[in-house]
């Protein structure tokens, strides 16, 4: 798989990530919750997906919401957390899209990064979606798909998947939206909304968002 298409890097021509916070970092107490917004970034650097990503962080958890237009109609999708627990140790920044961490950092043990399942959804005739995901700190359930991490489908970097304990206000978080094609039956196939499916062709990863670790931007 081309990991640059997994949302950890993109062409410089892609729009710059515009981030806004409820208050500037210097005005917030060390452990206050933080609210971030970020634009949707197309994996191919061309296709436009109107909408935005929202992230609410506390020390122990994060909540995300993605509002997206322009997706495939009547299709199954999954969303994937890409969590860099120690972004200060990242070495592959892409400033044009607001990312301090990139592909190579997924395999640097000092960064403690993993990729794993966040949510699934189906689109209607209009190809729009409004999907939410929640992640507590600590170990994630053994039943979810892990793409990069211990026993990962795409790569095993030895790291336990998840948000490091009490690290919700520090991690850099990317979210990748992945298409699994038209619904296979009138009743949606659960696998189209819950598994990674590494056999999918390039182009399955359609759009992503980036939420830098507060204080790094």
Q: What is the DSSP string of 21-84?
A: ESS-GGGS-TT--EEEEEE-EETTSS----EEEEEEE-SSEEEEEEEE-SPPTTEEEEEEEEEE
Residues 6+ apart with CB under 8 A from 21: 34, 35, 36, 214
Average predicted confidence (pLDDT) for the chain = 87
Two tokens, residue 208: 């992503």
- pLDDT tens across 53-84, in order? 999 999 999 999 999 999 999 999 999 999 99
Question: Strands 34-39 and 20-21, how do they pair?
Answer: antiparallel
User: Which is more confidently placed, 136 or 191?
Assistant: 136
**pLDDT confidence tier of residue 31, bands split at 50, 70 and 90:** confident
Would you say residue 187 has pLDDT above 80? no
CB 158 within 8 A of CB 150: yes
Cβ proximity of 205 and 197 under 8 Å: no
* Rounded distance between C-alpha atoms, residue 44 and residue 47, angstroms: 7
What tokens appear for 216 in the block? 């790094």
How far is it, in rounded angstroms, from Cα 123 to Cα 132? Answer: 14
- Taking residues 5-27, report their average pLDDT: 38
pTM of this structure:
0.87
Question: pLDDT by residue (tens digit) across 141-185?
Answer: 999 999 999 999 999 999 999 999 999 999 999 999 999 999 877
């Amino acid at each position: 798989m081309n990991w640059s298409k997994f949302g950890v890097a993109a062409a410089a021509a892609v729009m710059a990530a515009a981030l806004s916070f409820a208050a500037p970092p210097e005005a917030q107490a060390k452990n206050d919750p933080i609210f971030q917004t970020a634009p949707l970034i197309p994996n191919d650097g061309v296709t436009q997906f109107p909408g935005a990503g929202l992230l609410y962080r506390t020390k122990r958890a994060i909540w995300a919401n993605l509002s997206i237009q322009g997706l495939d109609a009547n299709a199954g999708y999954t969303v994937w957390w890409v969590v860099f627990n120690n972004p200060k140790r990242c070495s592959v920044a892409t400033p044009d899209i607001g990312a301090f961490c990139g592909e190579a950092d997924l395999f640097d043990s000092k960064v403690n990064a993993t990729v794993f399942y966040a949510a699934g959804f189906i689109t209607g005739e209009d190809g729009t979606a409004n999907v939410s995901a929640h992640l507590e700190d600590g170990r994630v359930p053994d039943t979810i798909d892990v793409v990069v991490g211990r026993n990962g489908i795409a790569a095993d970097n030895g790291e336990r998947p998840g948000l490091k304990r009490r690290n919700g206000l520090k991690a850099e978080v990317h979210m990748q939206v992945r298409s699994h094609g038209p619904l296979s039956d009138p009743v949606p196939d659960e696998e189209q909304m819950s598994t990674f499916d590494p056999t999918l062709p390039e182009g399955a990863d359609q759009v992503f968002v980036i939420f830098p670790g507060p204080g790094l931007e």
